[in-house]
Amino acid sequence: MKRIVYLLILLVSVNSVMAQTTIKGKVTDTKGEALIGVNIAVKNSYDGATTNVKGEFTFETNEKDLVIITATYIGYVPQEK
């Protein structure tokens, strides 16, 4: 089975006005090709997004501690970071 290898450019920045954290990044396969429609989520939370045609995603969460980000895609092994 294939693996989602990279959750690249996983940048976390704090938006002090809204007290939310923005999580954004890009998902690619082992060849560096963008993966479209990958489900990205904060583990044990309802916060998340789906990658666009460039493999990019962005979403906001109220989580304040370290979190685990999951990536799931049909035909690929789920990944956590």
> Any residues with CB less than 8 A from the CB of 38 and at least 6 apart, and which?
4, 27, 50, 51, 55, 57, 71, 72, 73
pTM value surpassing 0.85: no
Beta pairing, strands 6-15 & 48-50:
unpaired
Distance CA 15, CA 74 (A): 33
CATH assignment, 2-80: 2.60.40
Work out the average pLDDT over 57-81: 91
Alpha-carbon distance of 5 to 31, in angstroms, equals: 9
Model confidence over 33-43: pLDDT tens digits?
A: 999 999 999 99
Angle at 53 between CA 28 and CA 48, to 5 degrees: 75
Residue type, 77: V
Over the stretch 12-52, which tens digit does the pLDDT of each residue have? 443 444 568 899 999 998 899 999 999 999 999 999 999 99
pLDDT band at 4 (very low <50, low <70, confident <90, very high): low
